[in-house]
């Protein structure tokens, strides 16, 4: 397997790994699994205040034996802390939980329509300027929200972390992010397992001697300026998800997988905080 360390995406001075390890909903041994992921070669670890895993992520980082400066740590501030004072306090609490001096990327986890974006994005920029984070971005923002965020934020945003997989079209969002020189970071990259039974994905996986998950992840990162943060709870799957840098999909294979987006399956759509999502027209 080629070293994943060389596979990074550049945006506004940031060099972010193309594949990260997601840490949402860990039922057991999260610290051990994080440490294992890092030893496998992951250099991006993705967490959030809302996940409740920051403490365990910090333990895993320390147990891995890998120097802090070699790692990229992402965390997020919940929409409940969208006010400036609350936002900055949340960021500081995250650092204490992680036992880190800074994170590499701090995100607004979900948009908060009850608080002006200028205030929340201003607080995000202040977190960067005060050294709490090296880079900043947003998550679960629609195109209109992204445009406003870019406009009002005093510092450049490097990513929008959103649901993206072969069953969910994001063509318009990809175009918008491209205009702003930003990365699309994909969560739920295998549609919470729904793509693991897809016959087209299976046919392509068999041709390459790879698994369904590896084909789905390769399809994502083979697109320009797309990263992915898959979650895995077994060591074999953790290693498997990173083993996607020693092959490429053909243009025809990419096209066949992309055609699956007419399924238009959305996994993450919590009614209490999800915005009105963009409508994508699938050709």
pLDDT at 41: 96
Residues 254 and 243 sit within 8 Å (Cβ to Cβ): no
In the chain, which stretches have pLDDT less than 70?
1-6, 283
Catalytic residues, by residue number, are: 51
**Where would I find the beta strands (DSSP E) of 129-200?**
133-139, 157-163, 183-187
Residue pointed to by tokens 């870019």: 150
For 1, 18, 30, 254, the CA distances from 75, given in Å and listed in that order, are 28, 16, 16, 31
Q: DSSP character for 231?
A: B
Q: Contact at 8 Å (CB) between 240 and 211? A: yes
Give tens-digit pLDDT for 200-222: 999 999 999 999 999 999 999 99
Rounded distance between C-alpha atoms, residue 207 and residue 202, angstroms: 9
The whole-number pLDDT of residue 1 equals 44
Antiparallel, parallel or unpaired: β 44-46 and 21-22: parallel
Q: Count Cβ atoms below 10 Å from residue 248 Cβ, excluding itself.
A: 12
pLDDT of residue 257: 98
Token digits of residue 2 = 């080629």
C-alpha–C-alpha distance, residues 184 and 229, integer Å: 11
265 by DSSP, 3-state: which?
Answer: coil
Q: What is the pLDDT of residue 5?
A: 55
**How much is the pLDDT for 281?**
76
Structure tokens at 29: 């041994």
């Amino acid at each position: 397997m080629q070293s994943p360390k060389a596979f990074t995406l550049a945006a506004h001075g940031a060099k972010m790994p193309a594949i990260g390890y997601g840490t949402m909903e860990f039922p057991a041994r999260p610290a051990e699994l994080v440490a294992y992921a890092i030893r496998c070669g992951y250099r991006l670890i993705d967490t959030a205040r809302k996940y409740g895993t920051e403490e365990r992520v910090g333990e895993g980082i320390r147990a891995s034996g890998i120097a802090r400066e070699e790692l990229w740590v992402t965390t997020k501030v919940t929409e409940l802390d969208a006010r400036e004072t609350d936002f900055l306090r949340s960021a500081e609490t995250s650092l204490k939980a992680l036992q880190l001096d800074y994170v590499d990327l701090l995100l607004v986890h979900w948009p908060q329509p009850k608080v002006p974006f200028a205030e929340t994005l201003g607080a995000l920029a202040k977190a960067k300027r005060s050294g709490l984070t090296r880079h900043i971005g947003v998550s679960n923002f629609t195109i209109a929200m992204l445009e406003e965020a870019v406009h009002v934020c005093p510092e450049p945003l490097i990513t929008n972390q959103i649901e993206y997989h072969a069953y969910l079209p994001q063509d318009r969002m990809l175009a918008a992010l491209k205009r702003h020189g930003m990365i699309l970071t994909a969560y739920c990259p295998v549609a919470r397992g729904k793509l693991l039974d897809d016959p087209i994905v299976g046919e392509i996986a068999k041709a390459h001697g790879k698994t369904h998950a590896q084909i789905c992840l390769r399809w994502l990162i083979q697109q320009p300026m797309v990263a992915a943060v898959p979650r895995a709870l077994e060591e074999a799957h953790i290693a498997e998800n990173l083993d996607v840098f020693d092959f490429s999909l053909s243009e025809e294979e990419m096209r066949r997988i992309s055609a699956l987006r007419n399924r238009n399956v959305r996994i993450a759509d919590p009614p209490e905080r999800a915005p009105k999502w963009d409508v994508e027209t699938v050709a």
